[in-house]
Structure 1
Amino acid sequence: MGSTAITLEDARTLDRSDPFPHRRQSFCLPDGVIYLDGNSLGALPIATPGIVADTVQGQWGRSLINSWNDHDWIGAPARIGDKIASLIGAHPGEVIVADSTSVNLFKLLTALVQMNSDRRDVVTEMGNFPTDLHIADGVAKMFGKRLVAVPSNQIVEAIGPDTATIVLCHVHYRTAFRHDIKSVTERARAVGARVIWDLSHSIGAVPLDLHADGVELAVGCGYKYLNGGPGAPAFLYIARDLQPEMISPIRGWMGHANPFAFDDAYVPAPGIDRFLAGTPPILSLAALEAGVDLMLEVDQHALFGKSQRLFQMFADLMAARCPDFALISPDRAEHRGSHIGFAHPQASAIMNALIAQGVIGDFRAPDVLRFGLTPLYIRFEDIWQAVDILAGIMASGTWRLAQHAEIKRVT
């Protein structure tokens, strides 16, 4: 796609051949807003309010406590986990929905470090998402281990006989750089170590096949590309063969083999259920399931195909119209996720100015403007309009008026 030749009509022509022409109508998108932050908080599916309302009024309101059985509330973590499993190339019974990504990472990492007590190193990436680094560092200190953080291009070399485990985000939250999940996993396995993959910026964004890639452990969130709502429950994945060896450090009653026997002694549940802890948050799970069901209706490879075309249009338009911005995301599709990042010394003020004009992206310190490419509801016209607005902001200097505003966002 040529850069200066891209017109608004070109963008609209691409929209007319969109492989997901009606999916945008499945989301609540305010008029006058170009939403390019779905990689941080996915848009609200149209169906979600009705589903949550029915869970509140039709189930809780009418069936009361009987809803745990009558409406299978008790089975929600495993039921939704099985649906997520089909999105990531896992088998039924290998994914459970519970807690937050941070808590799930703590559970898996602690279990692994205890299993490999004779090894001292927890390997991770410098500049990894902070919660992953903080939790890895905390667990390492708890067990007298050493946190080894290296640049992304040195990960494979850092994995050796002293490695207890590796903690990596599959897709980097700032740059969208995507690790080669198979080669890193194979390297770990060759030295007797295991990788915990954080799929928060992967699931619903890039095709995943964990079994084909030999992945045994992963965590991920539900509020980005899965559109599960703010603070949606997260998930964890453990390959079936590994489950009997893994014991959760959080021995909650829902992870007990017989939670309603109310025994004093803890006996871990068989399978993935042993990584449950407290009572499932049913209202949040209902919202998450609505988003997951929507994602199950689309082909993940076609989804990423559209993401690639959105990325290329964005990169070409920026090169032509906003040349002062440096693309920090990988050029090659096989090396990236589904967002795009640009560096600029005044990134924070520029993003504030964009948001004031209805283009909602994100700022990541110290100098990155980040834009989510969520193909179910982002149009090529949205990309063209967003760059057009950005070019106008830069030409007029209006970004200077937003220099002192502060943007606060989650991941």
Structure 2
Amino acid sequence: MPPATVSLDADPFAPEVLEGPLALQARLREAGAAVYLERHGVYALARYEHVHAALTDWQSFQPAAGVGLANFRHEKPWRAPSLLLEADPPRHDAPRAVLSRILGPRAIRRLRGAWAEDARELVDRVVRSPEFDAVADLAQVFPLRVFPDAVGLEHEGRQHLLPYGDHAFNAFGPSNALVAKGTPHVAELSAWVGGQCARERLAPGGFGAAIWEAADRGDITAEQAPLIVRSLLTAGVDTTVHALGAVLYAFATHPDQWRRLREDPRLARVAFDEAVRWESPVQTFFRTATGDVEIAETTVPDGKKILMFLGAANRDPRHWNDPDAFDLARDPSGHVGFGMGIHQCVGQHIARLEAESLLTALAERVERIELAGTPRRHLNNTLRAWSSLPVRVRTG
């Protein structure tokens, strides 16, 4: 560590920090542009300006060495690296192009009507009871219903998707108790997910089959196809579940914003992006310096890990006015909750469609939504999530 570098003895993966990360995020933003975290030997970026720059400069801040704490230059990953998150051009280019086409505007148009109807059916059933758990009954159920259908996944075994994704995102952090909790089940979960990525297991007409068709055309290789399907199954469920949990919590605690959405349901997508900014379901990602990299007046040495605090950047008062407010009058575009640059989330438009479908259906039926008990956090080394969100609704 260069002698002039600001350092902190703080652990962003400690349970109390995962439970409530805002104080540490503010401390990091004020400490400096790049802060050395002694516990893990990494450099932390928490200001919007520098997080955005690191996300877009893949040449200096390398994803291919792993987007977690493990450094793939020296350590063997627990599974084959993601071709979307953990590969750099040119290896990254063909898989990204294929998936961008498959998840693009044509898919949105094809799915919109069916997902809107699915959301109405789910909401109609759930709100028959004035009190329910918005995580268990809505935020988990809807993505686990519509997204695997769109991929072409078989129905049996879908319950494995959430624990598999939970472990994958935990594994981006240190080998702590959260990782240890999932380790005994990794082999079983990985085998199931890997099996679903095979051509013969995927229904015709879905995203998965389209990926294999791209391999048949030579756009990608047959070896790449199952890894791309796996990326959909790893990152396409948990993140959306937790983002939906975030927006439902936001509305349950901000009745004025719920009234605004009901008055103008076209704000559903704005609401979703504002919730992603405000809560940042994906809190952190790592990069690796490809040389001695200058960040403001700090030099990050070659090969050192850089921990980008997406959640801190999304509440940086240097970039956002009144950043701690959830406000549908805000333009949240530019938030880094989906990443930024060539490695940003390729499925973000699909996630927005899921949110638009569910929020629109709720706004049609529900006059008021409020907390009916104390929400409980689900702790994860990378994700900010709710395990339970008891709510009370009034329909009309």
Q: Which has the larger share of helix?
A: 2
TM-score, length basis structure 1: 0.29
Query: Whose Rg is larger?
Result: 1
TM-score, length basis structure 2: 0.30
Higher relative contact order (CA 8 A, sep 6+): 2
